[in-house]
Amino acid sequence: MAVDQRTPADRAYEAVRKLKPGTWESVEALAVFAVHCSSHPGSREALASAEAAAGRLKVGTWESVRALAWLEKATTTLR
């Protein structure tokens, strides 16, 4: 079995791009990636995807609070 030589950020980017859009979990994962991998070329795309998905979801659960808090952190980190 070959060892994946990509950076953790590249592997994380691949993973967040494969997430099912439209869930609070995907919003949170995209935002966390954007915060922790802010220098990665895909961080702004991840942030935009998180913002778009969050705008279509219903708030009112602990998952939504956590995801929106990470989204706010990502927004302030990247802008």
Exposed / middle / buried, residue 54 (Cβ in 10 Å: 0-12, 13-18, 19+): buried
**Alpha-helical runs (H) found in 7-42:** 8-17, 24-36
pLDDT tens per residue, range 12-70: 999 999 998 889 999 999 999 999 999 999 999 999 999 999 999 999 999 999 999 99
The number of C-alpha atoms within 13 Å of 67 and in the hemisphere containing its C-beta is 25
Provide the token pair at 63.
């998952």
Phi, psi of 43 (to 5 degrees): -65, -40
Per-residue pLDDT at 39:
95
Q: In the chain, what are the domain boundaries? A: 9-78
